[in-house]
Amino acid sequence: MAKVVALVPDLLFGSKVQSSFGAAGFECQLIGDPQAARAAAAESDLLVVDLTDADLGGSELVASMVAAGETGQLKTLGFFSHVEPHVREAALSAGFDLVVPRSRMNREGPQLAERLLAG
């Protein structure tokens, strides 16, 4: 079973993410703090990051993890508000493996994770 850390401070959406990933057979830990997510990601297969909260610093977190060589086999999946395409570009530049709109994350999160982890 693949381990997923979801850095999603929005408890309502975070519980949806956790529930859908759990139903798909993932072990999913919901975390609201970037540093706690960074620590948990060290023992996980996938880090999911909510990029809709600019104060969270998701792109900066992943960029610093990449720079420190902490990502290794860890895959990263970010989601953003479709009205802020610049957030997607910043996340990809930071080193995310995949960045999708929040609506797609809501519909296809576990399938996206499966594809990322398979390839």
Instruction: Give me the mean pLDDT over the 20-32 stretch.
Output: 97
pLDDT of 76-90, one tens digit each?
Answer: 999 999 999 999 999
* Token reading at 57: 């610093």
Instruction: Give me the mean pLDDT over the 17-43 stretch.
Output: 97
pLDDT of amino acid 54: 85
Q: Locate the domains of the chain by residue range.
A: 3-118
Beta-sheet strand order (sheet of 46-50): 27-31, 3-7, 46-50, 75-80, 98-101
The CATH architecture assigned to 3-118 reads: 3-Layer(aba) Sandwich (3.40)
Please report which residue ranges of the chain form alpha helices under DSSP H.
11-23, 34-41, 58-67, 85-94, 102-118
Confidence of residue 51 (pLDDT cuts 50, 70, 90): very high
Q: In whole numbers, what is the pLDDT of the chain averaged over residues?
A: 96
Instruction: Give me the mean pLDDT over the 93-105 stretch.
Output: 97
In which region does residue 57 sit, left (phi positive, over 0), alpha (psi from -120 to 50) or beta (all else)?
Answer: left
Q: Which residue has the tokens 């086999």?
A: 73
